[in-house]
């Protein structure tokens, strides 16, 4: 293990991680970033697995997700962020400075910003891998407005608040939206469920599960099975959106900081502080509500400003 103690270790390289890096690098804190491979899918986080990003301010013509993350990275690098392409395997927040063990390196750091994001749950149906981003997505808010979904039949899988929100959002673009849920009652909050059920463009498909996504290069339909009658049917579609929940990438932090009952990192209200002093969190790893690149970047900025003040208060400049 190197004896050098980093002032800030940033774990994760999505919009939250890179924004935290840009702010702390510009404050001359030379942050050390673990870009990671696996937890968010790849270095750069969830945006590297999407196509066009049209809702990030500053890009009026939209930008390709991986290209956008390259720009974030370049900006963080320009101000002196040190980066390693490693996943963190283990952290020890019980000792100070904190100990962080990556795939190859072991480091000490006075402070940590956790930006490991979340992973959208997938179903693993046939053709899913091939049709992902070609009509299939886990984010209607990110992809729903794309031209090929306009005035076409679309489908959302799930029965929670996200599924309701996404189905309602998609009614702005699609000719109709099928909402496929495995039970006969929505999990979503009462108000969201009522609004969804009232929406005339949404057709509920109860007690049903997706068993196949259909298409050669682009999605053209889905095969659905009723779990009670076992009856199967094929529905023509241009878009299929999963809304079956996200899993926060927090496994390595279990027992080190407080997580909520679904595994998201708990922060003190109005701050990015976790239950362990000196450890901060930003982005989707602590946010199951908004989950947008721009909100992740916003909390990444806030975390960096809070770390800067915290380090100064400890006499670490």
Binding residues for ligand NDP (CB under 6 A): 123, 157-163, 165, 182-183, 187, 209, 243-245, 288-289
Query: Among residues 143, 161, 284, 287, which one is catalytic?
Result: 143
Smallest gap from residue 245 Cβ to ligand NDP (A): 4
Letter string b/e over residues 22-36, b meaning 16 or more CB atoms within 10 A of that residue's CB: bbbbbbebebbbbbb
Cβ closest to ligand NDP, residue 31 vs residue 41 = 41
- Least distance from ligand NDP to the Cβ atom of residue 138, Å: 10
The catalytic position among 142, 164, 287, 301 is 142
Q: Which is nearer to ligand NDP, 91 or 156 (CB)?
A: 156
How many other C-beta atoms are found inside a 10 Å radius of the C-beta of residue 187? 16
Q: Is 284 a catalytic residue?
A: no
Q: Which is nearer to ligand NDP, 14 or 158 (CB)?
A: 158
143 is catalytic: yes
Short-list 306, 310, 166, 171, CA closest to 245: 166
CB closest to ligand NDP, residue no: 160
Q: Are strands 232-236 and 219-226 parallel, antiparallel or unpaired?
A: antiparallel
From the candidates 52, 87, 115, 139, give the one annotated as an active-site residue.
139
The answer for residues whose C-beta is within 8 angstroms of residue 5's C-beta and 6 or more apart is 97, 108, 109, 110
Residues 6+ apart with CB under 8 A from 30: 6, 7, 8, 80, 81, 82
**Of 233 and 289, CB closest to ligand NDP:** 289
Asked about 115 being catalytic, the answer comes back as no
CB of 162 to ligand NDP, least distance (A): 3
Q: Are 109 and 8 in contact (CB under 8 A)?
A: yes
Euclidean distance between CA atoms 172 and 145, whole angstroms: 8
Residue 256 CB, nearest distance to ligand NDP (Å)? 23
295 phi, psi to nearest 5 deg: -75, -35
Residues assigned a catalytic role:
139, 142-143
């Amino acid at each position: 293990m190197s004896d050098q103690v980093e002032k800030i270790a940033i774990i994760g390289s999505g919009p939250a991680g890179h924004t935290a890096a840009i702010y702390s690098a510009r404050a001359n804190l030379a942050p050390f970033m673990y870009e990671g491979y696996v937890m968010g899918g790849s270095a750069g986080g969830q945006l590297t697995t999407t196509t066009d990003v049209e809702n990030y301010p500053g890009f009026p013509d939209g930008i390709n997700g991986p290209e956008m993350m390259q720009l974030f990275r370049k900006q963080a690098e320009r101000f002196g962020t040190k980066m390693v392409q490693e996943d963190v395997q283990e952290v020890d927040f019980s000792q100070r400075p904190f100990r962080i063990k990556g795939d190859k390196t072991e480091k000490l750091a006075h402070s940590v910003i956790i930006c490991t994001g979340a992973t959208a749950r997938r179903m693993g149906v046939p053709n899913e891998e091939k049709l992902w981003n070609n009509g299939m997505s886990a984010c209607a808010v990110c992809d729903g407005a794309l031209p090929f979904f306009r005035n076409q039949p679309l489908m959302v899988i799930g029965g929670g608040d996200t599924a309701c929100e996404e189905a309602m959002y998609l009614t702005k673009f699609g000719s109709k939206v099928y909402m496929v849920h495995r039970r006969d009652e929505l999990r979503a909050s009462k108000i969201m469920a009522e609004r969804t059920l009232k929406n005339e463009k949404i057709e509920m498909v109860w007690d049903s599960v997706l068993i196949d996504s259909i298409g050669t290069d682009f999605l053209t339909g889905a095969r659905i099975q009723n779990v009670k009658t076992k009856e199967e049917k094929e529905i023509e579609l241009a878009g299929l959106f999963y809304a079956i929940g996200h899993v926060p990438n927090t496994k390595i932090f279990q027992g080190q900081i407080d997580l909520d009952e679904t595994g998201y990192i708990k922060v003190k209200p109005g701050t990015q502080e976790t239950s362990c002093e000196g450890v901060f969190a930003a982005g989707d790893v602590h946010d199951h509500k908004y989950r947008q690149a721009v909100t992740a970047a916003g909390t990444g900025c806030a975390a960096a400003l809070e770390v800067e003040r915290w380090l100064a208060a400890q006499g670490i400049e």
